[in-house]
Structure 1
Amino acid sequence: MKKFVTISCLLLLLGLTPAQLLAAEELLSFSDGTALKVLYFEPKIIPDNPRLALLISGSNSNTFMARAQFWLGKELVNRGWAIAVPIAPDNAGFGGSNARLLPELVTILQTRLGGSLGKPLLVGVSSGGTTALSIATRYPGSFSGVVAAPGRLQEGAAIQDLHGLPVYLRIGEKDDFRWNRQLDAMVASLQGAGAVVDAAIVADAKHIFQLDWDNLETWLKTLQ
């Protein structure tokens, strides 16, 4: 991915322009023989301290869902982040066995993009936020933190020692699926497993809402 290819059609689908960023699409091969398509976006002006985030789209994590939920990725690109969006093989999502691919994907991206990027941030919205939490709780050592806005812990999920993993969790006060009622229990579970949790209810918000970027960027600056 050192040589980036502008993908005009993809940028238009995501509501972006070539003037805003560079984009690439690659089919990556994994050690178990799996082939995984990854969409990659970076701002044309790279900051002195480049940062990488993995955006996990919801449901089956296909290209359609990546497009529907890329508004969060677009905001991060506008703030100087590079974004990688894995597309799940066979429309199976990343909440199940495909989650095993994410730590190796991190290694591949670090090798291709340069080790100075460090661990990526894991981000997701709605079912993507839920999947991001699921992945992060399975492989906490692979990520600098996780943003789920909204997201929830899957019922009965076994959480291992999270070793101080930073978690930024936001849920709307009027969430359509009533995830807000689960927030206290989720925070207790995450903190009990060793996560450092910044969680809050967003006043008057439904399931999908605008983030408070001043607040989020303050939190992002605390990541190692």
Structure 2
Amino acid sequence: MRLAAIVAVLALTAAACNNSDGAQRAVVADPDAVNSTTTQAASAVETSVPAAQAALIDISDGIQDETRPDVVWYTATIDGIEVEYAVGQQADIAASDEERPVLLAFPAGPQTRAIAESLLDNYWIPAAVDKGWTVITPVAPGGRLFFQGSEELIPPLLDAVLADAPPEGGRVHVAGVSNGGISSFRALALYPERIASVLVLPGFARSEFDLLALDTVGADDFGVPVTLWVGANDGQGWIDGANSTADRLAASGAIVSVNVVPDEGHIIAGLTGGVEISEVLEAARQTS
């Protein structure tokens, strides 16, 4: 699936979320305009951090991706829930048990495998895998997004995947596109001690719970650099959300950068090839 196809998928999703006056929202464009079903689905995690508990995990044998030599697909069964995910890394990195930079990359839209594969091709493989990083990109189990309840699976998934080779500095970098960007801020809100940096293109802190968590991001003893990209032609909800999130982060003293990209829409095609993404990720390694 090419980026143009992702744009089409997200446009179809957005069409289902139109205002009564015909104004279109992109996927989850405005935190005040999210439908009641989504709000209810997320309510369990918008009030408190879930209690830590041991999870029963089983990992399937990996299946080599036929078109991506550095990508292997797995299925993790976590307390009975099957989570498909890809691990992208060079062969010498895969064979090593030494620390390495790790990127947890959340897909856009419905967070399907097809969208995850496209973002691997266009963003994460050239920006991270080709630079010696390990990239983990999960697929939303049963369509339950990673800010609608599936975020509770993140800690046991990371623990299982990284059991034999820890992430650099004990923390992972997190990135996401669209709904993946929203998922990234949910992960930061719930598990800040596990996260080294956040990169969204686009994304924002969607709920009051997520926003309140941003107030601690700039603490002297817990610095998490955050970079937000959003297209200038994207829906106003995404632009406003990025700016308000950046303002909240800046007020906390966090290292934050927000970039409104001219002539770009919801999916930022100019970032294809990963050059600028790689620069941000490498800078975050030095900062975090």
Q: Same fold (TM over 0.5)?
A: yes
Contact 1:106 1:119 in 2 (8 A): no
Contact conserved, 1:73 with 1:83, CA < 8 A, in 2?
yes
Query: 1:60 corresponds to which residue?
Result: 110
TM-align CA RMSD: 2.7
Where has structure 1 moved over 6 Å in runs of 4 or more?
Answer: none
Give CA-to-partner distance per residue, 1:158-191, whole Å, 9 cap, x none. 4323342221111122224552233332112233
TM-aligned CA deviation for residue 98 of structure 1: 1.1
Structure 1, residues 43-71: CA drift from partner, whole Å, max 9, x if none? 23549862111111123322122123222
Please tell me whether Structure 1 or Structure 2 has the larger radius of gyration of its CA atoms.
Answer: 2
Identity %: 20
Aligned length: 211
Indicate how the Cα distance of structure 1 residues 130 and 150 shifts in structure 2: closer, same or farther if over 3 A, else same.
Answer: same
**1:170 pairs with one of 225, 229, 244:** 229
Q: Whose relative contact order is higher, 1 or 2, with alpha carbons under 8 Å and at least 6 apart?
A: 2
| Aligned partner letter, 2:138 | P
| Closer, same or farther: CA 217–98 of 1 in aligned 2, 3 Å | closer
Deviations 1:67-116 (A, max 9, x none): 23222222221222111111222121111211111122222222133465
Which amino acid counterpart does residue 111 of structure 2 have in structure 1?
S
Distance in 2 between residues matched to 1:77 and 1:218, nearest whole Å: 12
Contact 2:227 2:256 in 1 (8 A): yes
Residues 138-177 of structure 1 mapped to structure 2, 5 A cutoff = 138-158=190-210, 159-160=212-213, 161-162=216-217, 163-177=222-236
Judge conservation of contact 1:106–1:142 (CA < 8 Å) in 2.
no
Q: Is the aligned partner of 1:91 residue 2:143? A: yes
Q: Deviations over 1:190-221 (max 9, x none)?
A: 33456431222223322222333474255233
Name the SS for the 1:179 alignment partner: helix
Higher alpha-carbon deviation: 177-186 or 90-99: 177-186
Instruction: Tell me the amino acid that sits aligned with residue 7 of structure 1.
Output: Q
- Find the residue that maps to 1:174 and give its secondary structure: coil
Give 1:26's aligned amino acid: Y
Structure 2: runs of 5+ lacking an equivalent: 1-60
Q: 1:23-102 to 2 correspondence within 5 Å?
A: 23-30=71-78, 32-46=79-93, 50-70=100-120, 71-75=122-126, 76-102=128-154
* Partner Cα distance (2:252, 2:261) in 1: 24
Question: Match for residue 284 of structure 2?
Answer: 220
Q: Identify the residue that residue 7 of structure 1 maps to in structure 2.
A: 64
- Greater strand fraction, Structure 1 or Structure 2: 1
Q: Secondary structure at the match of 1:199?
A: strand
Note the residue ranges of structure 1 that are not aligned, 5 or more in a row: none
1:195/1:138 CA distance change after superposition, 3 Å: farther
Find the aligned partners of 2:167 and 2:259 in 1 and give their Cα distance.
33
Give the 3-state SS of the residue equivalent to 1:153 in structure 2. Answer: coil
**1:111 aligned counterpart, secondary structure:** coil
Distance 1:8 1:223, change over 3 A: same
Mapped partners of 1:66, 1:120: distance in 2: 18
Q: Which amino acid aligns with 1:51?
A: P
2:205 maps to 1:205: no
